[in-house]
Amino acid sequence: MRLERRVFLPGDYLIKQGMMPEGMFFITNHPGVPPGEVEILQREELQDAVDTYKRIPFKGGEKIVGEISLLRDTKATAFVRAKTVCDTELLLRDDYRALVDSKEYGALFKEYLQQVAISRGFSDYTQAMANYDRLEKPKTITM
């Protein structure tokens, strides 16, 4: 398993709604450089109107995007667009599968991603943020 480094400029899409993403992205931090920021958008198709997009609450410090599609093995449920320069590491879909199927870390990694995905399922922003604060990273996985 390996991660692929990808850099996105403001306005670039990491993930596009309705497409099968390549994998999940970890937004990385470097000393002395502000962390990259993304925005999550969902397309709402309205009758007799041009497509509109709604912003989905996303905690600025969150560092993982694309996990929902991997967990559900489905197409992306939203667009992920870079707001600032984003330095990322991409975990490809096949490498994700190998990781969650591993006996050593698979169950812990999948459980952590499920917690992240569940916390994003709240429609109320305040409730979602409270849930993020309760998440703890597994002690055996460093991110």
Q: ∠27-28-29 over CA atoms, to 5°? A: 130
The pLDDT tens digits for 61-109 are 468 888 888 888 999 988 899 988 999 999 999 999 998 888 888 888 8
What integer is the mean pLDDT of 45-66?
60
| Position 12 pLDDT exceeds 80 | yes
- Among 25, 14, 17, 135, residue whose Cα is nearest residue 89: 25
pTM value is 0.72
Instruction: Choose between 101 and 56: higher pLDDT.
Output: 101
- Among 20, 29, 120, 27, residue whose Cα is nearest residue 70: 20
Instruction: Choose between 52 and 72: higher pLDDT.
Output: 72
pLDDT in the model for residue 136: 56
What integer is the mean pLDDT of 105-121?
80
Instruction: Choose between 1 and 68: higher pLDDT.
Output: 68
